[in-house]
Structure 1
Amino acid sequence: MSSTSVKTDPSPPAPSEASNRVTLGWTNRLLARPEIGALVAAVVIFIFFLIVAPAFRTPASFFTVLYQSSTIGIVAVAVGMLMIGGEFDLSAGVLVTTAGLFNAMFCYQLGINLWVGAILSLVLCLCIGFLNGYLVMRTGIPSFLITLGTFFVLQGANLGVTKLVTGSVSSPNINQMAGYSSLNWLFANEWEIGSVTLSITVVWWFLFVAVSAYVLQRTKIGNWIYAVGGNAASARAVGVPVTRVKVGLFMTVSFLGWFAGMHYLYNYNTLQAGNGVGNEFLYIIAAVVGGTLLTGGYGNAIGVAIGAFIFGMTSLCIVYAGWDPNWFKAFLGVMLLLAVMVNLYVKKLSTSRKVG
């Protein structure tokens, strides 16, 4: 007597189980976003200062915060991309001042159009970026040390050359020179919109963030940047031009450093030779707070922008709240430590859930 076995298809998952899987997948994708921790922090800090700082509740104050954020955020965009590529640039802060000083003094001493000086200043900055990248790749010395050397060279040159040429530690006023009006409009224009003032640097900042986000997420170059930051040897083995990518990233930092230098020069018409020292750490902090790992290969432009916004919001809202502004640096240190720990935890949690 033979027995027949009846095969049955496995029953489909219950609606609740399917819903849980969808929720888990959505959570994994959310946690995989580098900027999620910074976004949560930005919302919390924003609400906190709305409560404790009544002066922050006006639209004019918010646009002032956006401007403050943009002055750090423009260079932080490039610094974040460089960090994703696995490198650092400690000369970015003083390079901003170098760009403006060169433009002002070169044109003032020779009596030529400021546009000539601006273009030559850009060439100088790009050469500095190229040299940083070339030395890092050629010598194998960590970028931290190479760019620290560049930092001291530029800092000394800013002070020494300015004192030698002008007899003081500030550049001459350039607001009466040929080419000033158009350059001022390009780098420092402001629009009055009702009761608020919108600076053109905010517009440029948003544009640079959008371009960076597109390059990182939608292009082959973006894939290369993540690859060289994650494992340069493996990237080279599969044909990624590691040297060109990293040198290009250093030059991108120099380009946006030049852009920020032009803003400071044409916004204030003169520059102090000692400016910019310490700003390199603010760029790095903005990137790290925005979810960029110090180890490279992880981060995005949106996160860096949020990190810069947190910086701008905190630096001004401490004043709006009537607190001692000397506490700001202490807050930055705490924020940096928390950001590093949160970023590592989120990345580990996201990776473990994907594996699971």
Structure 2
Amino acid sequence: MTVTKSAVPLADDDRVRKISALRQTMIRPELGSICGTVAVFLLFLFVAPDSGMFSLEGVMNWGTVAAQFAIIAVGACLLMIAGEFDLSLGSMIGFAGIVIALLSTQFGCPLWLAIVAAFAAALAIGALNGYLVIRTGLPSFIVTLASLFILRGLTIYAPITINGSTIIGGVKSAAQGDWLAPVFGGKVLGGLFAWLAERGMVGTFKAGAKAGLPVVDGIPMLMVWAVLLVVLAHLLLTRTAFGNWIFAAGGDAGAARNVGVPVNRVKILMFMLSAFCATVLAACQVLEFGSAAADRGLFKEFEAVIAVVIGGTLLTGGYGTVVGAALGAVIFGVVQQGLFFAGVESSLFRVFLGVILLVAVVLNTYIRRLITGER
């Protein structure tokens, strides 16, 4: 008797591990940041309902703060997924800003050239950090910690030596007529907000020289850069072969090398991306304030890491999401401005950072155990 293939029921293969729908949801890296974002919005809707925090002006306030965190979180996220850290990120913000301000105001360089020079210097330093990590085998924590102190020291020394002060002004004058300045310091959709103001859909100034003009006169390029970087990084990570290389480099570098992944090149490029993102924020800040200060970027390296960890990226590398990191940045922006709107002492923001970091690490450890089956 011939037994057909369809007549024999297929037994479950014990080697194939089935994952329930609930478990699949639980191990999504951005789950924690989604829950955190919802919880934070609900909290401030309850404690500060009439503060104007969720008016257009309020949204622009906390949205601008969130954009600052998001820009640096993008670079930190991809680097952490690749299995490395960059503690020099905050110092890079101050360093790049001082380079732009000194070259444009003290040395007479066109602002566009000063910005390009700052990006070139930052990318070179990022590549050097990556190269040292690869060549020496030292932890990136140590290499970039050294860079943190070197850059911060140079950022203080250079302006004091050249200008006698750690604050360099005059950038707004240097930006007049410069073709690159609007890319970092301009605003978009100004006409739309003016049109909305004419129809009473956007608040306007009631008195003074700006009477009748919209309170919100456009979306700053800082926010545009944040959205652009988040979208591009997400597409890179999830839609390209290079994105797979980033995950592989952080997950198991040895195995990745064995299948042809250029792990060293990937890691160096991610260090350069981190430096690039820091310089984008520096350029936006310099053009917004019209000056550079040596203490800009202080503690930003830690805030970026916390935003990324909140977003679900594992400290061990090989797992994470840019969308989660962006939501972590939104949480930071909402909480920082929400404390102000609620009339709470702003220093408690640091307390919040510490608590949420601890909670996020515990949650991520639990998720890692779900993925790997560890006890």
1:65 aligns with 2:24: no
* Aligned position for 2:32: 37
**How far does residue 153 in structure 1 lie from its aligned partner after superposition?**
0.4
Instruction: Figure out how many residues of one structure are paired with residues of the other and give that number.
Output: 336
Distance of 1:322 and 1:328 partners within structure 2 = 12
Distance of 1:88 and 1:236 partners within structure 2 = 20
* Aligned position for 2:213: none
Whichever residue aligns with residue 273 of structure 1, its letter is A
Whichever residue aligns with residue 210 of structure 1, its letter is V
* Aligned position for 2:13: none
* Aligned position for 2:162: 165
* Aligned position for 1:75: 72
**How far does residue 272 in structure 1 lie from its aligned partner after superposition?**
1.2
* Contact 1:133–1:247 (8 Å) recurs in 2: yes
* Aligned position for 1:3: none
Q: Which residues in structure 2 correspond to 1:304-315 (within 5 Å)?
A: 304-315=325-336
* Aligned position for 1:235: 256
**How far does residue 26 in structure 1 lie from its aligned partner after superposition?**
3.1
Instruction: Give the one of 274, 282, 290 matched to 1:269.
Output: 290
Distance of 1:179 and 1:140 partners within structure 2 = 47
Give 5+ residue unaligned stretches, structure 2: 1-5, 10-17, 197-201, 203-215
**How far does residue 350 in structure 1 lie from its aligned partner after superposition?**
4.7
- Report the secondary structure of 1:110's partner residue: coil
1:155 aligns with 2:176: no
* Aligned position for 2:47: 52
* Contact 1:187–1:263 (8 Å) recurs in 2: yes
Q: Which moved more, 1:132-141 or 1:274-283?
A: 274-283
CA RMSD of aligned residues (A): 2.1
* Aligned position for 2:309: 288
- Identity level (%): 37
CA deviation profile, 1:140-179 (whole Å, cap 9, x unmatched): 0100010000000010000011100101111131212266
CA deviation profile, 1:272-309 (whole Å, cap 9, x unmatched): 11221211000000100000111111101100000111
Distance of 1:82 and 1:270 partners within structure 2 = 30
Distance of 2:178 and 2:107 partners within structure 1 = 19
- Report the secondary structure of 2:106's partner residue: helix
Q: Which moved more, 1:303-312 or 1:175-184?
A: 175-184
- Report the secondary structure of 2:74's partner residue: helix
**How far does residue 230 in structure 1 lie from its aligned partner after superposition?**
0.8
Distance of 1:314 and 1:148 partners within structure 2 = 28
- Report the secondary structure of 2:173's partner residue: coil
- Report the secondary structure of 1:182's partner residue: coil
Distance of 1:218 and 1:107 partners within structure 2 = 39
- Report the secondary structure of 1:260's partner residue: helix
TM-score scaled to structure 1, two decimals? 0.89
* Contact 1:99–1:121 (8 Å) recurs in 2: yes
TM-score scaled to structure 2, two decimals? 0.85
Deviating above 4 A after TM superposition, structure 1's stretches of 4 or more consecutive aligned residues are: 7-10, 178-181
1:183 aligns with 2:180: yes
1:203 aligns with 2:200: no
1:223 aligns with 2:244: yes
Distance of 2:260 and 2:289 partners within structure 1 = 47
* Contact 1:105–1:172 (8 Å) recurs in 2: no
Distance of 1:180 and 1:270 partners within structure 2 = 17
* Contact 2:89–2:274 (8 Å) recurs in 1: yes
Whichever residue aligns with residue 87 of structure 2, its letter is L
CA deviation profile, 1:212-264 (whole Å, cap 9, x unmatched): 11111111111111111011111112211111000000001111111111001
* Aligned position for 1:278: 299
**How far does residue 325 in structure 1 lie from its aligned partner after superposition?**
0.8
Distance of 1:323 and 1:290 partners within structure 2 = 25
* Aligned position for 1:28: 23
* Aligned position for 1:332: 353
Whichever residue aligns with residue 122 of structure 1, its letter is F
* Contact 2:175–2:181 (8 Å) recurs in 1: no
- Report the secondary structure of 1:177's partner residue: helix
* Contact 1:34–1:303 (8 Å) recurs in 2: yes
Residues 289 and 178 of structure 1: CA distance in aligned 2, closer, same or farther (over 3 Å):
closer
**How far does residue 343 in structure 1 lie from its aligned partner after superposition?**
1.6
Q: Which residues in structure 2 correspond to 1:92-107 (within 5 Å)?
A: 92-107=89-104
**How far does residue 351 in structure 1 lie from its aligned partner after superposition?**
4.8
Q: Which moved more, 1:114-123 or 1:190-199?
A: 190-199
Distance of 2:343 and 2:318 partners within structure 1 = 40
